[in-house]
Structure 1
Amino acid sequence: MDPERLAAAITPRTRAVIPVHFAGLACRMDAILELAERHSLAVIEDAAHALPATFQGRLVGALDSRATVFSFYATKTLATGEGGMVVTHDAALAQRCRVMRLHGISRDVFDRYTSRALAWYYEVVAPGFKYNLPDIAAAISIHQLKKVRAMQQKREAMARRYNEAFAGLPLKLPPGPPPGEVHAWHLYVIRLADDAPVGRDEFIQRMADLGIGCSVHFIPLHLHPYWRDTYGLKADDFPQALEAYRRAVSLPLYTRMTEADQERVIAAVRQLLAG
């Protein structure tokens, strides 16, 4: 998120700012938080990609935002298979999350089974959801958390190897972190240059022909039928997102990837782009 463009987008109807730490690189949170405070806006960080990224030496999730949301899906640095976590400094918001995560019930489920006073009684105080992280997934996450630094360091080493191997090719490398900061490297996203010998879609197909799966992160929301049709959006309404999407390719990057796996990817990319 570009803080200057954010400033221009704020209107009297704006209530919150949701910066996305895309691919594991933290946004410029100092400028975003300052701007939000000036306009009395809540900041909710989308940190699905960002554990254990840092900004100005502080972990994402420990900044001064109203809340930060993490994802523990199978592809993330810390993975439980599914689920996620909300962290906040706001005690009232934390309590609201606890109520809303499990059907709007007023008492925590463990309290209902361990309390000696009317253990069976509870009240539904809000129209809640079924958003609780399953106990087994939570148990897995505790042990995954012990490994998160080592897993991030391996991803960082693989990203560095890619950067070195792709230097000079007709593509744009993903931005790295500022000096001293931590990039989670959830994704490794290249953007093909205008003079690349193949277009994005052909590149992905030919990589698949070579036995290597790639993806695109992400198809912009305004191109999807619901958002496009509901709000009458056109493809060029969001030119930055559209331009990034048309060139973006996510290459394989995962903690159990071996050097041999990565060398296969590097060789295939060079075969298609080196000319």
Structure 2
Amino acid sequence: MTPYRIPYGCQSINQADIDAVVQVLQSPWLTQGPTIERFEQALADYCQAGHAVAVCNATAALHIACLAAGLGPGDVLWTSPNTFVASANCARYCGAQVDFVDIDPHTWNMDADLLAQKLEIAERNGALPKVVVAVAFAGQSANLRLIAQLADRYGFVLIEDAAHAVGASYLGRPVGSGAHAAMTIFSFHPVKIITSAEGGMVLTNRPELAERLRRLRSHGISSDPALMQVPEKGLWYYQQLELGFNYRMTDLHAALGLSQMARLDEFVARRRELAARYQVLLADLPLTLPVAQEGADSAWHLYVVRLDLSRIQLTQTQVFEQLRAAGLGVNLHYIPVHLQPYYQEQGFAEGDFPEAERYFLEALSLPLFPELTAELQDEVVAHLQRILE
């Protein structure tokens, strides 16, 4: 239970969700059963993708996506500093190094023009990345058209970390369709667009990637005779072909996620309605409001504003404290990853990515979830007006 009357995010569970989970509890399959495949197929169909591989959480999804992309020791992954640490940690799990590309000052996603400049330098220095993880911050894709063109030119594998963006679209196609990224990652944490309690998914159009992703999520084991190094001994036989992990999703989690799929469009529509309402209600306050990336239609996992500190008498911390004292569970997404102690031990320092650092000093995530009523949203706005004006 959140300690705040109005949290920044909250799941929406109905009786159909509960019944779906109970049905699995009453079935022979609690895990490794048919509900997982049904959830995978439902999301693949929704996103117009060839393959979907369900795992226990989105961090696991990022990890095996990087492994499937061939990332390993001696390689480098680039991502945005304005993201959750998992977008970078997935490289470290593979023994690879991490670097960052600063954010666009308007969309707060990876700046594709800065990426292009950095790639030119890296090519001259023989230090191109093996993987680029482009984060769909707050539910909105980055400039994937340009980033995908750069992937073709420089040979890196493009993974879209769309943990915030199930239900979003880009250039008229669902996020996850594979129109630009080799793999797309979704999260089903309770504050995300739909939830499976915990869970994640990797979508791809490449059969060879899907095959390896499925193997990596289950100990590196395969029962496919075509892949075995010795003849098949029977239906019970399997071989471990590589070092994998126990990253499987359970049928219980899949049942909840599959049930939530029935309301995905409803959830996204409500989030868009609330975001549009914020855009109007907050227009006259000393805030910078979110803007759209060209071609992107956000799923609005987050509604983030930036405080215009030159026009108010309070610090960011004071604004947070007053809003939380009023019962509003405002949050901050994100502390730049390169400022985390672990990454400073890797050699990063304050000043390395100045736009992300400026953003961090001004950002404020406001409550946004499907069951947020107009009355509660008005209360959020009223508190902001009282504090900022």
Cα shift at 1:118: 2.9
Q: Which residue identity is paired with 2:253?
A: A
Rounded Cα–Cα distance in structure 1 between residues aligned with 2:195 and 2:293 = 23
C-alpha RMSD over aligned residues: 1.5
TM-score (norm 1): 0.92
Cα shift at 1:8: 1.4
Q: Which residue identity is paired with 2:172?
A: G
1:182 aligns with 297
2:106 aligns with none
1:191 to 285, 300, 306: 306
1:272 aligns with 387
Q: Which residue identity is paired with 1:71?
A: S
1:162 aligns with 278
1:139 aligns with 255
Question: Are the aligned partners of 2:144 and 2:180 in contact in 1 as well (CA < 8 Å)?
Answer: no
Rounded Cα–Cα distance in structure 2 between residues aligned with 1:73 and 1:254 = 13
Which SS does the other structure have where 2:149 is aligned?
Answer: helix
Rounded Cα–Cα distance in structure 2 between residues aligned with 1:155 and 1:222 = 30
Any unmatched runs of 5+ in structure 2? 1-109, 225-232
1:80 aligns with 196
Question: Are the aligned partners of 2:216 and 2:245 in contact in 1 as well (CA < 8 Å)?
Answer: yes
Q: Kindly provide the CA deviation profile for residues 219-252 of structure 1, in whole angstroms up to 9, marking residues without a partner as x.
A: 11111111111x2221111111111111101011
Q: Which protein has greater RCO, CA pairs closer than 8 Å, 6+ apart?
A: 2
2:171 to 56, 79, 98: 56
Alignment length (residue pairs): 264
Which SS does the other structure have where 2:194 is aligned?
Answer: coil
Rounded Cα–Cα distance in structure 2 between residues aligned with 1:158 and 1:166 = 12
1:111 aligns with none
Question: Are the aligned partners of 1:43 and 1:67 in contact in 2 as well (CA < 8 Å)?
Answer: yes
1:130 aligns with 246
Q: Kindly provide the CA deviation profile for residues 55-98 of structure 1, in whole angstroms up to 9, marking residues without a partner as x.
A: 11011111232111111110111111111100011111111100
Matching of residue 98 in structure 1 with residue 214 in structure 2: yes
Matching of residue 45 in structure 1 with residue 154 in structure 2: no
Cα shift at 1:25: 1.1
1:235 aligns with 350
Matching of residue 19 in structure 1 with residue 128 in structure 2: no
1:251 to 359, 362, 366: 366
Q: Kindly provide the CA deviation profile for residues 32-72 of structure 1, in whole angstroms up to 9, marking residues without a partner as x.
A: 11111011221110000111111110111112321111111
Matching of residue 70 in structure 1 with residue 179 in structure 2: no
1:5 aligns with 114
Cα shift at 1:148: 0.7
Q: Which residue identity is paired with 2:161?
A: D
Rounded Cα–Cα distance in structure 1 between residues aligned with 2:165 and 2:223 = 31
**How much identity, in percent, do the aligned residues show?**
37
Rounded Cα–Cα distance in structure 2 between residues aligned with 1:52 and 1:178 = 17
Any unmatched runs of 5+ in structure 1? 109-116
Question: Are the aligned partners of 2:142 and 2:293 in contact in 1 as well (CA < 8 Å)?
Answer: no
Which SS does the other structure have where 2:214 is aligned?
Answer: helix
Cα shift at 1:141: 1.4
Structure 1 residue ranges, 4+ long, deviating more than 6 angstroms after superposition: none
Q: Which residue identity is paired with 1:46?
A: D
